Amino acid sequence: MTQLLDNPVEALTRYVEQPSVSADSSFADGVQGAREFACERLIELGFSIDLVETPINPIILATRGDPAWPKLVIYGHYDVQPPDPLDLWTSDPFKAVERNGRLYGRGAADNKGPQIVHMTALHRVLKKNPDLPLHITYLIEGEEEIGSPSFRGFLEEKKDRLAGDLLLVSDTGSPGPEQLAVTTGLRGLTALEVKVFGPKQDLHSGVHGGALMNPLQAIMMICAGLHDKDGKVSVEGFYDDVRLPNNWEKEELKKLDFGEEDYAKFLGISEFFTPPGYSALEAIRFCPTLEFNGVGGGYQGEGSKTVIPSEAFAKITCRLVPDQNSIDIARKVRLAIERLSPPCVRVDVEVKGGGDPYVVIPPGKPGGNSSNSALMKKAFPLAEGCILATFGSKPLYLREGGSIPIIRDLKEVANLDALMIGLFTNEDNLHAPDESFHLGILENSINAFEHFFENLAEV
**Helix ranges (DSSP H) in 234-325:** 247-254, 260-267, 280-286
Q: Treating both helix axes as pointing N-terminal to C-terminal, what angle do 439-456 and 374-391 enclose, rounded to 10 degrees? A: 140
Using the Cα atoms of residue 95, residue 100, residue 103 and residue 105 in order, give the sign of their dihedral: negative
- The stretch 367-387 carries a mean pLDDT of 88
Above 60 in pLDDT, residue 1? no
Query: Are 369 and 348 members of one domain?
Result: no
Above 90 in pLDDT, residue 432? yes
Q: What is the CATH number of the domain that holds 244?
A: 3.30.70.360
Mean pLDDT score of the chain, rounded to an integer? 95
* CB-count burial class (<10 Å; 0-12, 13-18, 19+) for 99: exposed
**242 occurs within a structural domain:** yes
Query: Are 95 and 18 members of one domain?
Result: yes
Of the chain, the end-to-end C-alpha distance in Å amounts to: 25
C-alpha to C-alpha distance for 53 and 30, rounded to whole angstroms:
17
Within 8 A by CB and 6+ apart from 124, the residues are: 446, 450
CB atoms < 10 A from the CB of 365, how many?
15
| pLDDT tens per residue across span 259-304 | 899 999 989 999 999 999 999 999 999 999 999 999 999 999 999 9
Query: Are 223 and 181 members of one domain?
Result: no
What pLDDT was estimated at residue 312?
98
**266 occurs within a structural domain:** no
- The stretch 79-89 carries a mean pLDDT of 97
**270 occurs within a structural domain:** no
Query: Are 317 and 178 members of one domain?
Result: no
- The stretch 384-400 carries a mean pLDDT of 97
Query: Are 207 and 233 members of one domain?
Result: yes
CA distances from 426 to 23, 109, 263 (A): 23, 10, 10
Using the Cα atoms of residue 295, residue 299, residue 301 and residue 303 in order, give the sign of their dihedral: negative
Query: Are 55 and 158 members of one domain?
Result: yes
What pLDDT was estimated at residue 373?
83
Domain termination site, one of 316, 336, 355: 355
Instruction: Please answer whether residues 434 and 89 qualify as being in contact, where contact means their C-beta atoms are separated by less than 8 angstroms.
Output: yes
Structural domain range at position 179: 4-186+357-456
What pLDDT was estimated at residue 364?
84
Query: Are 362 and 351 members of one domain?
Result: no
Domain termination site, one of 355, 389, 415: 355
Q: What is the CATH number of the domain that holds 417?
A: 3.40.630.10
C-alpha to C-alpha distance for 216 and 219, rounded to whole angstroms:
5
Domain termination site, one of 310, 335, 355: 355
What pLDDT was estimated at residue 147?
85
**173 occurs within a structural domain:** yes
**281 occurs within a structural domain:** no
**267 occurs within a structural domain:** no
Query: Are 21 and 154 members of one domain?
Result: yes
What pLDDT was estimated at residue 396?
96
What pLDDT was estimated at residue 365?
87
Percent of the chain residues topping a pLDDT of 90: 92
Total number of domains constituting the chain:
2
CA distances from 45 to 65, 73, 353, 418, 443 (A): 11, 15, 36, 23, 19
Closest CA to 425 of 437, 439, 443, 410: 437
Q: How confident is the model at residue 106 (pLDDT cuts 50, 70, 90)?
A: very high
User: Which residues is 227 bridged to in the sheet?
Assistant: 233
Instruction: Please answer whether residues 146 and 54 qualify as being in contact, where contact means their C-beta atoms are separated by less than 8 angstroms.
Output: no
What pLDDT was estimated at residue 459?
59
Above 70 in pLDDT, residue 80? yes
CB atoms < 10 A from the CB of 429, how many?
18
Query: Are 59 and 179 members of one domain?
Result: yes
pTM summary value: 0.89
- The stretch 160-172 carries a mean pLDDT of 94
φ and ψ of 206, to 5 deg: -85, -45
Instruction: Please answer whether residues 57 and 124 qualify as being in contact, where contact means their C-beta atoms are separated by less than 8 angstroms.
Output: no
Query: Are 120 and 202 members of one domain?
Result: no
C-alpha to C-alpha distance for 451 and 445, rounded to whole angstroms:
10
What pLDDT was estimated at residue 339?
98
Q: How confident is the model at residue 2 (pLDDT cuts 50, 70, 90)?
A: low
C-alpha to C-alpha distance for 375 and 117, rounded to whole angstroms:
21
Q: Give the angle 51-57-61 at the CA atoms, nearest 5°.
A: 30
